Amino acid sequence: DTEVTQTPKHLVMGMTNKKSLKCEQHMGHRAMYWYKQKAKKPPELMFVYSYEKLSINESVPSRFSPECPNSSLLNLHLHALQPEDSALYLCASSPGGRNSGNTIYFGEGSWLTVV
């Protein structure tokens, strides 16, 4: 099983709503990532969790709050978003550790529209 599963696939939310994006992998990977991708642009790294600890936060606004409940799950909590936050949010995972040659597996993404 080489899948990273993201839910929901599509989400429309108002600027005052609180919602969450969820990501799950059962490959035993110890590194998990959140990326944001705008149309016709490459993915931009937001957060990295390594062994369930937040290791990288790319200066992401606090209205995005990541959570890693266990080694298989990664959440992205959303609150008070802006319309410009509308994008495809990609979750990814990799085996982790010091071997930077590991392939990173991406999920199908969650399309977020903020109205």
**53 binds other proteins per the rule CB under 8 A:** no
Q: How many CB atoms lie within 10 A of CB 4?
A: 23
The two beta strands, 31-37 and 87-94, are antiparallel
Residue 90 as a binder of other proteins (CB under 8 A): the answer is yes
Part in contact with other proteins (CB under 8 A); list of ranges 11-19, 63-71, 77-85, 104-112: 104-112
Classify residue 52 by its DSSP letter: T
Is 31 a residue that touches other proteins (CB under 8 A)? yes
Handedness of CA 14, 46, 49, 111 (dihedral sign): positive
Enumerate binding residues for other proteins (CB under 8 A).
4, 6, 31, 33, 40-43, 45, 48, 50, 55-56, 88, 90, 92, 94, 96, 99-109, 111
